[in-house]
Amino acid sequence: MPLALLALAVGAFGIGTTEFVMMGLLPDVAGDLHISIPTAGHLVSAYALGVVIGAPLLAALTARMPRRRVLIGLMVLFVFGNAVSAAAPDYHWLMIARFVSGLPHGAFFGVGAVVATSLVAPERKARSVSLMFLGLTVANIVGVPVATAMGQQLGWRATFLAVSVIGLAAIASLVALVPADHGHGTAVGVRSELKALGSLPVWLALGTTVAGFGALFAAYSYITPMLTDAAGFAEASVTLLLALFGVGATIGNLMGGRLADHSLRGTLFGGLASLGVVLALFPLMMKAEWSAALAVLLLGTAAFTTGSPLQLMVMEKAAAAPSLASSANQAAFNLANAGGAWIGGLALAAGFGVTSPALAGAGLVVLGLGVAAVSYAVDHRRVPLDATGSGRLVAGHVPGDVDEVASARR
């Protein structure tokens, strides 16, 4: 695997750290700025809003630019947003700075995924995407706990300064490791990019992302009360258990990338089914500490097994605009975050018990499998064969995975 993937992983590490560290710093930020914790929670929403808006917008606007230059520019914006966060004089400035910090998030992962797949052989595309995402999962193991502890000891502003330094390291890595003559933008304009994004297969792939990762966040958003109220863990143990989730996510990410290079759809369906089983078993596994810890590990593993397949599937369904589609998939991940948390909260508010968000997540998995099945049916009818009937794929067609190629040959 080329060293350029390391540069993408460093950027992903910084982005993952700044995205999730705010959850642990809410009490410190609220106390320093003299606001309530619920009000401080809007800072999390501001970042997510920046991701949803910035992902497709920046990807479309930079479609014709060299992708190496785009990645560097996005990290410059990332450093700027976090530096302003560290210097924000009040809540309103911090809200704006968090929104700005979120703008490059989706576009970086989207364009980065296109660059990553262009650097390797076709049979290693999913693995290259998983190695870029490795920075995001490792951030949950190392970056977020360390940054949270730094913020609690030195003040929350020190955390965002440290994240800015990580961003600078990512810029240096991109300059040094990503070839200057590699990864040119597309020749199409914004209108053509949007047209390619508007096809039914792309929207079905994005719908699978929203439902699949919405299932994860329906449970993960309320993992702390599950661990303390149902499993009986002390609150001090929750940070270590969340790091265990990061370990599971890292395992699932690497495993999903390797498996998806052999069968993209098989890995996607298998990962979603595994996630549904884990979520359905959550109420039983939360009755003892050892099984609850295992449930957290398995949750991360099952959910992130689907990450690389989903990203690659969206890119292949919009071959004419892979950067925009890939970035839109990152916006879909954040919509899944917000929607999943909302649905899990509805289950709690209805009085179904502290583990009920996991069961709501299992329901979302069923929805995700249904959308994925419809997507498969649509693609199965759309596989173009040549006029001779020999079963060869038409030149220029991008198959969903080796299963589709085999189907075409049959």
Is the pLDDT assigned to residue 189 strictly greater than 60? Answer: no
Q: What is the pLDDT of residues 366-382, one digit of tens each?
A: 999 999 999 888 877 75
| Domain shared by 5 and 150, yes or no | yes
Confidence of residue 279 (pLDDT cuts 50, 70, 90): very high
Q: Which tokens in the block code for residue 311?
A: 């990203």
Phi, then psi, of 2 in degrees rounded to 5: -70, 150
Q: How many domains does the chain have?
A: 2
| Domain shared by 7 and 145, yes or no | yes
CATH number at residue 51: 1.20.1250.20
Q: What is the pLDDT of residues 226-240, one digit of tens each?
A: 888 888 888 778 778
| Domain shared by 142 and 223, yes or no | no
> In the chain, helix, strand, coil percent, each to 5?
80, 0, 20
| Domain shared by 204 and 116, yes or no | no
Q: What angle do CA 270, 273, 277 make, to 5 degrees?
A: 135
| Domain shared by 222 and 151, yes or no | no
| Domain shared by 298 and 390, yes or no | yes
Residues in a beta bridge with 393: 385
**DSSP symbol at 184:** P
CA gap 239, 265 in Å, rounded: 34
Residue 1 structural domain = 1-185
Q: Is 51 exposed, middle or buried (0-12, 13-18, 19+ CB in 10 A)?
A: buried
In 3-state terms, what secondary structure has residue 396?
coil
Q: Which of 136, 166, 185 is the last residue of a domain?
A: 185
Segment among 136-140, 289-293, 392-396 with least mean pLDDT: 392-396
Q: Which of 185, 208, 237 is the last residue of a domain?
A: 185
Name the pTM for this structure. 0.78
- Of 358, 126, 145, nearest to 252 by C-alpha is 126
| Domain shared by 347 and 388, yes or no | yes
| Domain shared by 166 and 213, yes or no | no
| Domain shared by 85 and 227, yes or no | no
| Domain shared by 149 and 204, yes or no | no
Is the pLDDT assigned to residue 222 strictly greater than 50? Answer: yes
| Domain shared by 180 and 322, yes or no | no
Give the Å distances, CA to CA, from 96 to 16, 28, 204: 19, 18, 33
Q: Which of 160, 185, 210 is the last residue of a domain?
A: 185
